[in-house]
Amino acid sequence: MLVQSLMSVAVAAAALTAAWVGTAAAAEPKRGFYLGLSAGAAIPTDTDFSTGGVNFTLESNPSFAVGAAAGYRFTPSLRAEFEFQYSRAEPDQITFPGGSVGVSADVDIYTFTVGGYYDFRLGGGFAPYVGAGAGVAHQSVGTITFTGPGGVATAPGGDSTDFTAFGEVGLSWALSDRFELVPSYRFQWINDGGSGADDTMQHIIKLGFRMTF
């Protein structure tokens, strides 16, 4: 009786495994055009700069990033995409030897990039991936407000457009042959430094959704 029960369980387990493998195989995304949306957190790194022989560090609070992409999958592993991303930087304070001052401004960052990606197909609809890309970043800085022991002061902002590049790692999970969930991490660099100031850099952690046509 026990042997018969174990055999029944084994047959059922084999049937369920076969069904799962079939479903997983069917969930592999197909080739072709796809669209994607993403949202998450943008975490700027500290920016060091110097003037008059004094070193300063600008610290910013984490904010948000949203994006939209259009891409094409050439093979099960190789794809390319164009992406627009909007993120917000929120300056918090500037520190220097002996003190600090509060700083606030609206900093809008718009990036337009082209990237290439390689998906490592593991089966079961899961695929870790790596990628990199480059393009342009437009930054718009509103009026800057400084708050310190001596009171409040303001300075005008400005706009700039610079070269940007990024590296990205993530994991795509194919819900079907058309839909994927994509958590990812990106390191982004903007070539806007100079005159004693570091370039802008930020970490972006996001969750994306892709639909293949």
Give phi and psi for 164, each to the nearest 5. Answer: -135, 155
Token pair recorded at residue 16: 């369920």
What pLDDT is stored for residue 67 in this prediction? Answer: 98
According to DSSP, the residues that pair with 35 across neighbouring strands are 70, 211
CATH architecture of the domain formed by 2-212: Beta Barrel (2.40)
Over residues 15-55, the pLDDT tens digits come to: 433 443 444 445 677 889 999 999 999 999 999 998 878 89
What pLDDT is stored for residue 29 in this prediction? Answer: 79
According to DSSP, the residues that pair with 162 across neighbouring strands are 137
What's the CA gap between 169 and 132, in Å, rounded? Answer: 9
Give the Cβ contact number of residue 98 at 10 Å.
6
Over residues 55-103, the pLDDT tens digits come to: 999 999 999 999 999 999 999 899 999 999 999 999 999 999 988 999 9
Token pair recorded at residue 174: 């194919």
Q: List C-alpha distances in Å: 28 to 24, 31, 41, 55.
A: 7, 10, 28, 52
pTM: 0.83
What pLDDT is stored for residue 3 in this prediction? Answer: 35
Domain spans, the chain: 2-212
Q: Which residue has the higher pLDDT, 150 or 190?
A: 190
What pLDDT is stored for residue 15 in this prediction? Answer: 40
